[in-house]
Amino acid sequence: MIHEASPEAVFYVAVGATYLRKSGRDFTGWEDIGGEYGTDVALLQDGTSLVVYPLLNDPSERLFLLTNPEGWFLRYQGVLLTLQKRWSGRWQALWSYSLSEAEGLQASSGGGPGAAQNSGGGLFFKPLWPRSQ
């Protein structure tokens, strides 16, 4: 099947492509240097086993150090493709497709790049552990 496009159709359509690459390393983050952790396997209700790291010593012995933890990095790359038909003939359209890949740890949370966002508010305004008076 052959499709022909009239010269004026070119003025009604816009095509776009955007590529983004971001990489970072040497992020600062909290590291627990006082807590001692073991390794255990927990069995979930659906039968899946999950490796957990229980705290072995008293929680009051935990000491958090703000440092550059080894292995904290972030690499992201993404592509955004767009096709837009401007308003003509009483209709318009915008189509977009994004493809992205992220790898590493987020410095703000210690979680992976696919981890859920913090639903309790910003980390800067919420204490990470209770403070004694």
Give the model's pLDDT for residue 13. 87
| Residue 89 clears pLDDT 70, i.e. is over it | yes
- What is the domain extent for residue 58? 29-67
59/35 same-domain check: yes
Give the model's pLDDT for residue 9. 56
4/61 same-domain check: no
21/77 same-domain check: yes
Is 14 within a domain? yes
Given CA atoms 37, 63, 124, 121 in this order, what sign does their dihedral have? positive
Q: If you ran DSSP here, which 8-state letter would residue 58 be given? A: -
pLDDT tens string 63-80: 988 887 777 788 899 999
Output the pTM of the full model.
Answer: 0.48
Q: Mean pLDDT across the chain, nearest whole number?
A: 77
Is 86 within a domain? yes
Task: Give the contacts of 18 (CB within 8 A, at least 6 positions apart).
Answer: 79, 80, 82
33/63 same-domain check: yes
77/60 same-domain check: no
Q: Which residues of 1-25 are buried (b: 16+ CB within 10 A; e: fewer)?
A: eeeeeeeeeeeeeeeeeeeeeeeee
pLDDT tens string 9-34: 567 888 999 999 998 887 777 888 89
Is 9 within a domain? yes
Which is more confidently placed, 133 or 8?
Answer: 8
36/61 same-domain check: yes
